[in-house]
A and B are shown apart, each in its own frame.
Chain A
Amino acid sequence: MSQSYDRGLVEDFGRWRDFSAGMWAWVFHKFTGWVLIGYLFTHIAVLSTAIPAAGGDPSIYTGTLQGLEELLVVRFLEVGLLAVAVFHILNGIRLLFVDLGVGLTAQDKSFYASLVLTGAIVIASVPTFLAGAI
């Protein structure tokens, strides 16, 4: 049988509806990990160009940060960043347990718990982050 039909990659991506808990945990962990890296670099870029050492004038730093905090998008992005970080940390702890071989049969429940906890913490943080912006 020399011929055979390769269904290719596209088909794989179409399968997301069938993903189970462990798979979603992996997808979210990858995503949040890379978002955090992205934030880290942006963070370094913004701050290192706003500090006195870059320009000499101490008011640049204050001005930059106040300018950013005035933008509603930035307030919402901060809530998003918290959500991403909290999920990554909680699921990261879950993964450490998985690596130790502890509670593997509850891996789906611990993933759902990470999600619920993340949601709760994020909702609780909203008043703080959006105070004065709306």
Chain B
Amino acid sequence: MELECDGDVVKVNDLHFSYPDGNEALRGVSFNLCAGDKVALVGPNGAGKSTLMLHLNGILTGRGEIEVGGMRLNPDNLPVIRAMVGLVFQNPDDQLFSPTVFEDVAFGPLHMGLSEDEVRARVDEALRMVHMTNYRDRLCHHLSVGEKKRISIATVLSMHPQILILDEPSAGLDPRARRKLINLLHEMPITMLVSTHDMALVKECFPRTIVMDEGKIVADGMTAQILSDAALLEAHGLERP
């Protein structure tokens, strides 16, 4: 299926990457993301989803071309691109590294060089967006997993990213926390790329799905179409919701 846009938010062309130990994690990945896209990234463990995500804001650099917001990703515009790409790591204990919620949500805007008043305004706004306003002064290690996940999302929303990238956001959540997260993903009007094994979540939240396996994109199209292709799902270890 051909998508009707030229990748105005993210454009990736023939990306290859090997870890230092020789493990070939990405073998020629190409795709586009357009403004407003909500895309699920699915595939078995070890398919290369996390590795791909780490490339989109230049934490890892492989061979190939990456454009974000029309800019080539290179060391010069790395700071700008990191502000545009809101990447949330899988484990919230890695994402939330400050003692308090406020400090963690303020970290991004503060390091973008914004004024203190602006930083405070952004923290309040981000916490409001994830419905966690009264957690502002809480200690990070006192939060439940579900709360940590939502605060994690706030930590990048405060940077006003153009695209939100979430690595397995629903992993380890109980049903109620998962439901809250799904509602949150529904109501946020922002371009998203979300990796997950949760096919029910895919069906509910993401109109478009990219399937990865062994470092390659094996399918990219409308979620409904992909979920109805039993042979494809079976071949890549996915279950129908």
Please say whether chains A and B are actual partners in one complex. Answer: no
Residues of B within 8 A of A (CB): none
